[in-house]
Structure 1
Amino acid sequence: MGDAHAATVAAAERAFLARLDGGCQVPMGCHAELRDDLLHVRGVITDPGGRPCFTAARVGPPETAPELGKAVAELLLRLGADAVLAALAHKT
């Protein structure tokens, strides 16, 4: 794995976290990897109790890494993860 590879996957993961204002107190994660010349991005947001748990994934060209990361975050919000994040925001 070279520097360009690391920069590509990091760009997707950072865009995911930036869209969700993710920090270390929020139960969410993103993983990006290059396979077969495509970037695979998976994201998860879960309630601290484990349920509900929302997952989403997108695949696209590596040069669209930030857009893919943001798209995964947006999809999670549309699936209902916004309610988990709102509930956590009220607790802090």
Structure 2
Amino acid sequence: MFPHPPATQESSPGTQPSPRMQHLYPVANKDEFKKLMKLGYVCYAQRDYQTALINFNRALQVLPDDACAVQAVDNTKMAIVGRRTK
């Protein structure tokens, strides 16, 4: 899902990346988050609420407690409930 830094003597499987490699992860996380949110919004606009919800939840896995993602999940759940009651 996320690009992994090249293996070095300082970084081996199952350990944290070396301090000089950690800067790669926040950028990858933000890019992945933006991609998932954008896809969620596209699906929402097409009224594909289930797929939108999946993508917003995945975005929350990347950046937990992000206010926009939390609101998007809540709005999408309400749209799903609203669709079922009509």
Instruction: Judge same fold: TM > 0.5, yes or no.
Output: no
Shorter-chain TM-score bucket reads 0.3 to 0.5
* Higher RCO, 1 vs 2 (CA within 8 Å, ≥6 residues apart): 1
**Which structure is higher in helix share?**
2
Larger radius of gyration between Structure 1 and Structure 2: 2
* TM value normalised by structure 1: 0.31
